Amino acid sequence: MSSSAWEPSTWRSKPIKQAPAYPDPKKVTAACDELTRLPPIVHPAEIQRLKASLRDVAAGNAFLLQGGDCAELFSYCEQSAIESKIKLLLQMSLVLIWGTGKRIVRIGRMAGQYAKPRSSPMETVNGRQIPSFRGDILNGFHEDERELDPRRLVQAYHHSAATLNFIRASLSSGIADLHRPLDWGLGHVQDPALKEKYSAIATSIQQTLRFLQVINSRQTGLETVELFTSHEGLLLEYEQALTRLLEKPATLTSPETGGTASPTAEGPAAAAQPRKEYYDTSAHFIWIGDRTRQIDHAHVEFFRGIANPIGVKVGPSTPLEDILDLLRTLNPDREPGKVTLITRYGATKVRDLLPRHIRAVEDSEYEGCVVWQCDPMHGNTVSTPTGIKTRKFNDIYRELQETLKIHKEQGSYLGGVHLELTGDAVTECLGGSEGLGEDDLSTNYTSFCDPRLNEKQALELAFLIADHLSQ
């Protein structure tokens, strides 16, 4: 644990995993200087609004839906890819509102999810050993673009900014307007019992929306919603350059009502005197991945100094004693909702590991302080006999169901889900109501990293969670 002085650059004196060895450090410095001059991508007031929402999640009064690509590419920065992802997240959140009866906090793995940790620095492609693809912010997927290129740091900024600009424009222009009829597209569901179940939920949602329209809900905020952005905070050169000492916003405005939701944590007196904090303005929320959460290493050092809400991946390789050390380092003031623990064990290991992790936290001074979020994707990755990386829909749902059950048994609250998904009709995960099999994977497998749920599988998962929670 570290309580020494913090600066956005203090991580540089710590050991670090997954660090890029750029061939020309001068070019990295030039790119970071340029990033430092550019304006923030997100605003502290938005970051504080998300923090307030996550405080509600930690208290059990809201539910967090986070989703998007494993590796976002610069080429995904185009209208239809962004729109289909926003629409999918909105439709899933509607189903989850129905199931949970709670407000849904939405975070996209979007507008900056460009850096990927890799298990090996090299890989074999067409019989040749070449550097692994590490995400568009570092190098390119094409074989000829595998050299690390510092110009990509600035390109990542511009692609993030353009993506977020279009998200904001879409949301403020009615993409989320629930007065429009929704297409639930359940034609593909082959099992009649499941189809009936999903149709009943969709019908119930439609009826509620029609009712709200009849009683003239035009002023009740059905036209727009808030969608926050997130990515893994892996490339600390980039995160440092976008970290700014900014005034803490005095009051928080509720995303849904436009009214004042809650004062700052210190109360109205402190709110009258804004003070400065370090905000990582690259996204509203960033998380530490499974490979970089070592307590005395660079990533934890960087994350402990920023005011953003943050996530930490927790998996089978997390030592039990590290969990409290991480919380004490990352959230010494015990702000509720500041840290989201993103658990990703795999369907076969969750029963053994999650209960102890819950007890370690909930029997400590951090009781009720964290957001527990289930990532049912990363512990369930398998390879087909022909070497294609995939995940079974059933394993994903099994880990989620088991996680829900365990939290219930332990008296804790599962506050959210973290999914890899896309709004497109890809064929990367097996199963689901379309019954995708191994032979179907080649039809439209476009992920450059982990396999994602397609739009039908993602919505189906939302139906299953909603059905489970509503019982």
Q: Which residues bind Mn ion (CB under 5 A)?
A: 70, 450
Q: Is 378 annotated as belonging to a binding site?
A: yes
Which of residues 56 and 301 has its CB atom nearest to ligand PEP in the complex?
301
360 backbone φψ class: left, alpha, beta (φ>0; ψ -120 to 50): alpha
- Round to whole Å and give the CA distance between 86 and 165: 13
String marking each residue 315-344 x if it binds ligand PEP according to CB under 6 A:
-----------------------------x
Which of residues 255 and 451 has its CB atom nearest to ligand PEP in the complex?
451
How far apart, in Å, are the Cα atoms of 369 and each of 36, 125, 238, 293?
33, 46, 29, 19
Q: Is 452 annotated as belonging to a binding site?
A: no
- Round to whole Å and give the CA distance between 5 and 24: 30
* By the rule CB under 6 A, 117 interacts with ligand PEP: yes
Using CB under 6 A as the binding criterion, the count of chain residues that bind ligand PEP stands at 9
* By the rule CB under 6 A, 428 interacts with ligand PEP: no
- Round to whole Å and give the CA distance between 4 and 17: 21
Helix (H, G, I), strand (E, B) or coil at 466: helix
- Round to whole Å and give the CA distance between 175 and 84: 10
Among 56, 136, 237, 290, binds ligand PEP (CB under 6 A): 290
> Which among ligand PEP, Mn ion, none contacts residue 392 (Cβ within 5 to 8 A by kind)?
none
Q: Is 134 annotated as belonging to a binding site?
A: no
Q: DSSP string of 297-333?
A: SHHHHHHTT--S-EEEEE-TTS-HHHHHHHHHHH-TT
String marking each residue 227-266 x if it binds ligand PEP according to CB under 6 A:
-----x----------------------------------
Which of residues 289 and 337 has its CB atom nearest to ligand PEP in the complex?
289
Helix H or strand E segment including 468:
helix 455-470
* By the rule CB under 6 A, 70 interacts with ligand PEP: yes
Which of residues 109 and 159 has its CB atom nearest to ligand PEP in the complex?
109
> Which among Mn ion, ligand PEP, none contacts residue 117 (Cβ within 5 to 8 A by kind)?
ligand PEP
Q: Is 109 annotated as belonging to a binding site?
A: yes
Residues in the chain: 471
- Round to whole Å and give the CA distance between 38 and 46: 18
> Which among Mn ion, ligand PEP, none contacts residue 407 (Cβ within 5 to 8 A by kind)?
none
How far apart, in Å, are the Cα atoms of 286 and each of 47, 104, 233, 317, 407?
11, 19, 5, 21, 24
Which of residues 395 and 450 has its CB atom nearest to Mn ion in the complex?
450
327 near 301, Cβ under 8 Å?
no
Which of residues 134 and 378 has its CB atom nearest to ligand PEP in the complex?
378
> Which among Mn ion, ligand PEP, none contacts residue 85 (Cβ within 5 to 8 A by kind)?
none
Binding residues: 70, 109, 313, 344, 378, 420, 450
Binding residues for phosphoenolpyruvate: 109, 313, 344
Residues that bind ligand PEP (CB under 6 A): 70, 117, 232, 289-290, 313, 344, 378, 450
